[in-house]
Amino acid sequence: MALPQPRDFSWLEKRRKQASRLFAKGQTVLASVARQLNVSRQSVSRWYQLWKKGGAGALKGAGRAGRKPRLSSRQLQQLETALLRGAAAHGFSAEHWTLTRVAVVIERITGQKYHPGHVWKILGSIQWSPQKPERQAKERSQEKVNYWKNVRWPEVKKTLLANKPGSSSTMKPDSRSSRRSAPVGRRAAKHRS
């Protein structure tokens, strides 16, 4: 699952500055400004009110939106390095990661406590995706699997298909439902009794 792309705040601010320049030139038809900048009239109306009160400085960007991240980029790199070492290196019995285990490692490394349900967002920010381990029997022998796939299965497949007639239908050719009930072309009308 892809995470949404972050907004380009510098581009948004440039667009507001462009609106400010248009207002300063005397363009007060807000619908025209909205068409030129490819934005909604409501946004242009809000920008115009701000511009009238505070000039071009009022349309300056507020910075990033939302809460600031609790983990720095350096801490995220430390987390990724720790995860690459494997779960066993952190004292876990099995060599696979769960959200709860990753939350424990994050707390050990950074001191920040996260709910396991939120950890997937952090993993997505460092380009890690969920993986489902493939189940395999303990007795599995890769040598025998390769033999079956490459030698035995092609032989069995050929012998199964060799005895069949050319039709792929499972219906017997002489069954009542296999006969045509109407001639080829137009459908014949059903007679009611």
Q: pLDDT tens digits, residue range 13-38?
A: 888 889 989 988 888 788 989 999 99
Asked, for residue 138, whether it belongs to a domain, the answer is no
Asked, for residue 55, whether it belongs to a domain, the answer is yes
Asked, for residue 181, whether it belongs to a domain, the answer is no
Per-residue pLDDT of 117-169, as tens digits, reads: 999 999 999 999 888 777 888 888 889 889 988 888 888 777 665 555 555 55
Asked, for residue 77, whether it belongs to a domain, the answer is yes
16 plus 40 within the same structural domain: yes
Q: By three-state DSSP, how is residue 149 classified?
A: helix
90 plus 113 within the same structural domain: yes
Sole residue written with tokens 């395999």: 136
Sole residue written with tokens 């349309």: 59
Indicate the pTM of the whole model: 0.45
Asked, for residue 191, whether it belongs to a domain, the answer is no
CA atoms within 13 A on the CB side of 79: 26
Q: How many domains does the chain have?
A: 2
Asked, for residue 187, whether it belongs to a domain, the answer is no
CB < 8 Å & 24+ apart, contacts of 126-132 = 126/76, 126/79, 126/80, 128/80, 128/83, 129/1
88 plus 120 within the same structural domain: yes
Phi, psi values for residue 12, rounded to 5°: -65, -40
82 plus 52 within the same structural domain: no
77 plus 114 within the same structural domain: yes
77 plus 39 within the same structural domain: no
Per-residue pLDDT of 55-93, as tens digits, reads: 888 888 766 677 888 899 999 999 999 999 999 999 999
Domain region containing 106: 73-125
User: Is the C-alpha dihedral spanning 160, 162, 164, 168 positive or negative?
Assistant: positive
Domain end residue (candidates: 83, 102, 125): 125
Asked, for residue 34, whether it belongs to a domain, the answer is yes
CA distance 57 to 15: 13
Asked, for residue 64, whether it belongs to a domain, the answer is no
